Structure 1
Amino acid sequence: MSYKPKVFLSGGFKSNWQLTVIEQLNDQFIFFNPREHGLEHSDFYTTWDIHFVKECDILFAYMEASNPSGYGLAFELGVAYSLNKTIILVDEKSKEDPMFAKYFKILNKPSGVVLNNLAEGIEYLEKFSLQNV
């Protein structure tokens, strides 16, 4: 049995971007997808999120333009950074909203790389697949 890197998918639920990532890279990684946990109470889903951020190898954080705040993403990114996880940040919202960009740029520092769109993020994430080594 071969090892597959574990990826936590951090970001909003306005679209189904997580499915796009999983469909394109499905057999190369193990994905922890908060969209699928089915938990609605904040204590429950926050505990779930923290647990799987601890378990992941890579935090893939997607700040899509339609995400209203990014608070959850920022929290998960901070946890991942404190645990020395590899962080890939895709930030589409900052280029559309200069005021948001002013405050969100603090998350650029702990991120290993900041990319401009989901396609670039998926392409970069694929480089971490052990199938490519």
Structure 2
Amino acid sequence: MIKSKRSIYLAGGFKGGWHDLVIGKLMNDFSIYNPQTHDLEEPSKYTYWDLFHIDKCDILLGYMSENNPSGYGLALEIGYAKAKNKLIILIDDRSKVDESFFRYFAICHESADVICDTLDEAIEYLKTFRM
């Protein structure tokens, strides 16, 4: 019997190249849903795409980078994944440099199952879920 790969949804801003780093290190062991690839511009369409793939994933990797302008999309994705009982792994670089942001983003920390200090730490943790 062939086991299928576990799947990861990449939640977070589109800048900084972090998606490519994660994909490069995990693509052989996981199926990865990357919202950067859908090229959708209408909010109703990309929101549906995102939530559809969160439904399908096993793990949501949420990355709040320092340069993410709001984090609203990430917060929605984390909340939806929490309601769907998905494993949520969060890295929050922005709160490290913005105390007022941390105060409002704390709800996402409380919803995460695991909080990692760095993206590399999260990648290493994800490797423990290989099939």
TM-score, normalization: structure 2?
A: 0.96
CA distance in 2, matches of 1:11, 1:60: 8
CA distance in 1, matches of 2:21, 2:97: 22
CA distance in 2, matches of 1:50, 1:114: 22
2:61 corresponds to: 60
1:75 corresponds to: 76
Shift of 1:2: 2.8
Give % identity: 45
CA distance in 1, matches of 2:128, 2:66: 25
CA deviation profile, 1:50-81 (whole Å, cap 9, x unmatched) = 10000000000001111111110000000000
TM-score, normalization: structure 1?
A: 0.94
2:7 corresponds to: 6
2:32 corresponds to: 31
Shift of 1:125: 1.2
Equivalent position SS for 1:66: coil
Shift of 1:110: 1.3
CA distance in 2, matches of 1:14, 1:27: 23
Q: Do structure 1's residue 99 and structure 2's residue 100 form an aligned pair? A: yes
CA deviation profile, 1:91-125 (whole Å, cap 9, x unmatched) = 11111111111111111111101112111111111
| Count of residues paired in the alignment | 130
CA distance in 2, matches of 1:64, 1:124: 19
1:21 corresponds to: 22
Displaced runs of 4 or more, over 4 A: none
Unaligned runs of 5+ in 2: none
CA distance in 1, matches of 2:66, 2:125: 20
1:46 corresponds to: 47
CA distance in 2, matches of 1:53, 1:116: 23
